[in-house]
Structure 1
Amino acid sequence: MHDYQRPPTLHRYAPRAELELSLREGQFRLIPAGQFLTLSFSTVWDKSLFDLLAPNDGSCLVIHNTEEFGERLHRAVQRTLPSWAGIDGEVEYGARAALGAAFTKTLAEAHEHEWQFAWRPMTPQSRLNPITIKIGSIESFAELRGRESYAA
């Protein structure tokens, strides 16, 4: 288990169609980063992140029950990739993170306030490919919000 606290809400800025699938089916795409497959969120509401992460048809998926979400996500990845190890935590900027290189980014990226989920193979892989995971509907504890419709 983990000895840290997930933030009270997680925010994912992306095109609306992608986030509608995330809300309705719990569909998320894990992308390669180094020797990990990752999925990143922001711990903050920030209108500037719409421009950066979803400039045209951007929406924000707001997850209110981050514990439920995180546990369901880890279980789904474990079923799909049984010989992989997963962890999630806060990204650190400008210095090597305690969780390692996958959680370390430059100071220039600090405005993103990332919370990242990452999985690595237990045996070395020459190549990692993106994969899509489905955890089932998260509509009971998440919602889509537009740039102008956010109320904390």
Structure 2
Amino acid sequence: MHDYQRPPTLHRYAPRAELSAALLEGQFRLTPANQALVLSFSTRWDDVLFDQYAADGACLVIHNTELFGERLHRAVQKTLPSWAGIDGVVEYGARAALGALFTKSLAEAHEHEWQFAWRPMSPQARMNALTVKIGNIESFAEIRERGSYAA
């Protein structure tokens, strides 16, 4: 068993409007995947990942990943009390210790994902996308444009 630790920063590449709502209201959309609701981030700054979005793409950089994770899990738990949440690194090309939900193909390895996921405790639960709000995160996050990274 290895120590569990979130990376020091998380990066979410998306259209600017989506990221503005995330920064100001803590609004995030969980989407269905593999019998769970998920929200993915990258553990790295990578200008190439901006290419997945329209010209208005930007990056939300979260600096306090522990506080962010706690607030996100708490918000989802309030909305979906009978669901279990976990987050961890996605592994590429081999089955992840956290299971199929955290396993992706080698072709996706450039994304360097950290994923938050929630599974229903009851098998008949409906898998609908869900928007949660964790409150303003400006005290520990910022929006950056392509090419603006400074270590």
TM over 0.5: yes
SS in 1 for 2:32: strand
SS in 1 for 2:13: strand
Report how many aligned residue pairs link the two structures: 150
What is the CA–CA distance in structure 2 between the aligned matches of 1:34 and 1:44, rounded to whole Å? 24
Superposition TM-score, scaled by structure 2 size? 0.96
Q: Indicate the residue corresponding to 2:143 in structure 1.
A: 144
AA aligned to 2:85 is G
1:61 aligns with 2:91: no
User: CA deviation digits over 1:38-63, x for unaligned, max 9?
Assistant: 000000000000002x2321000000
Runs of 4+ in 1 over 2 A off after TM superposition: none
Partner of 2:101: 102
Identity %: 79
For residues 79-135 of structure 1, what are the alpha-carbon distances to aligned partners after superposition, in whole Å with 9 as ceiling and x for unaligned?
000000000000000011110111000000000000000000000136411000000
Q: Distance in 1 between matches of 2:102 and 2:6?
A: 15
Structure 1: stretches of 5+ with no match in the other structure: none
Counterpart Cα distance in 2 of 1:67 and 1:126: 28
Give me the CA root mean square deviation. Answer: 1.2
Match of 1:9 in 2: 9
1:45-124 map, 5 Å: 45-52=45-52, 54-124=53-123
Q: State TM-score, norm by structure 1.
A: 0.96
Q: Secondary structure at the match of 1:24?
A: helix
